[in-house]
Structures are given as structure tokens and as C-alpha cells.
Structure 1
Amino acid sequence: MRIGEVARGAGVSPRALRYYEEQGLLSSERTSGGQRDYPESAVERVRLIQQFFTAGLPSRAIQRLLPCVDSGEGSPEVFDLLTAERDRITAAIADLAATRDALDSLIATAHHPTPEHCPGLREPAWAPYESP
């Protein structure tokens, strides 16, 4: 299959396929004219790579996982890697939730300011004009 066919079949750009090759995630043969020629299985391989990226795995982790996928055998190292990635994502979610909660508090204060949150409310922002 040519690069355009694989790209269309997997729903990615040809540039993504070239990147996957650079990262050692995908391979192709070269025709006598120098064009990439992928096996029929390349579309499914690219879809799998996309699932790994969607799960938040970096390319170096995907590169370590693909041989296990190819052989059908998992190892403790693979499970440790996946667990570490899940833990990293869980921590990031907790950080984002804390940030969201802080923003919610700021939004509530902005909508309903009180003197303890906005010291400037204790005195009027303007003083009435007094004639001499």
C-alpha cells in the first residue's frame, strides 16, 4: 500500500506516517522509485498507534509496547509501564480538578463580591461631590 492509501484508511496524514517511521513505530519497504510501500496490516497498526497516543502514551513508550503486541506476550515491565502512565494521567487529572475548583471559587467571588474578598467594597469607589 502507498502512503496515501494507508493515511486515508487510518484517518491520519502522510506526515504522521513519516513521523511514526522516524520513531520506529511503523516500517515500510521502498520501491525501486523510492516510494514507501506498506503492508496491508499497516492501517490497523496505525490505528493501534493512534489509540496509544490517545491514551496519553509518548512514542518511546509505544515503541516499547509494540513488540509485546506483535508477539502477543505481556511482561511485568509492560504492565509496570502502563501502570506508571495511568498514574501520571491520574495525577494530571487531580491537578486539573484542583485548578478548576480554584477557578470556580474566583468566578463565584467575581459574581458575588463581599468585603472580606474585595477590600475595596468597604468604601465607595467614588465620593459624592461636596461643594465648598
Structure 2
Amino acid sequence: MRIGELARRTGVSPRALRHYETAGLISSTRAANGYRVYGEGAVVRVSNIRYLLDAGLTLDDVSAFRSCLDGDMPSTPPSARGLEIARERLAVLDARIAAQTAARDRLARSLAAESGQLIS
């Protein structure tokens, strides 16, 4: 199938698919006209990539799961390495949330002090 069909079937933009290919997460062959051609298994693979990205992982994180991207990831128990990556990503997200919350609180206090109001 060509990139447009893969995009339609997975709900992922052609640009994102090219990005996944550049990252080595999916592969294609080239037709005589130069168009990318993907095998049927690419649908499952892209769906699994999206599943991991939607869970908060990065493309670098997803690369660690390369060997199991062709299976039924949502119903398969995670590996020890998968759990480790998820815990690391959760810690990063928690730190970002804490930093953003602190920035929000500082801004709210500054606005409250300026206007003499209590902002929560």
C-alpha cells in the first residue's frame, strides 16, 4: 500500500509516517515511480507506535520496543525494560508538570500582588 492509504488506515499523517521511517521504526520499498510501498504489517506497526506515543513515550523510547511492534501490544504484558522506560518517562513528565505548576503559581501570585486580589 502507498503512504496515503497507510495514513488513512492508521489515522497518522504521511508526514508522521515519513518521520517514523526516518527514525527506523517502519520501512518501505520503492515502486518504479519512486512512491513508498508499505506491507500490510505496517498498519499494526504504526498502530503500536501510536499506542506508545499516546501513552507519553517519545520516539526514542519507542525505539526500544522495535522488536515487539508487530504484535498485539495493548494486550501483551510489558517487559521489565518496557516498565523501566515507562517509569523513567513518568518521572520526566512529573518533573515537567511540577515546574509548570510552580511557574503558574508564581505568575498567579504576581498578578494577585499587582491587582491586590487573591488568585488561586
TM-score (norm 2): 0.77
Specify the alignment match of 1:104 in structure 2.
108
- What are the superposed Cα offsets for residues 73-128 of structure 1, whole Å, 9 maximum, x if unpaired? 64322211111001110111111111111111011112118xxxxxxxxxxxxxxx
Select the structure of larger CA radius of gyration.
1
The whole-number CA distance in structure 1 between the counterparts of 2:35 and 2:82 is 34
Q: SS state of the match for residue 70, structure 1? A: coil
User: How many percent of aligned residue pairs carry the same amino acid?
Assistant: 40
CA contact (8 A) 2:7 2:17 kept: yes
Of 54, 58, 76, 2:80 maps to 76
The whole-number CA distance in structure 2 between the counterparts of 1:111 and 1:41 is 59
The whole-number CA distance in structure 1 between the counterparts of 2:77 and 2:52 is 17
Spell out the pairing of 1:33-52 with structure 2 (5 A cutoff): 33-52=33-52
Structure 2: gaps (5+ residues): none
The whole-number CA distance in structure 2 between the counterparts of 1:10 and 1:83 is 27
Query: Which amino acid in the other structure matches residue 56 of structure 2?
Result: G
Spell out the pairing of 1:1-132 with structure 2 (5 A cutoff): 1-70=1-70, 72=76, 74-112=78-116
The whole-number CA distance in structure 2 between the counterparts of 1:73 and 1:102 is 42
CA contact (8 A) 2:45 2:69 kept: no
TM-score (norm 1): 0.71
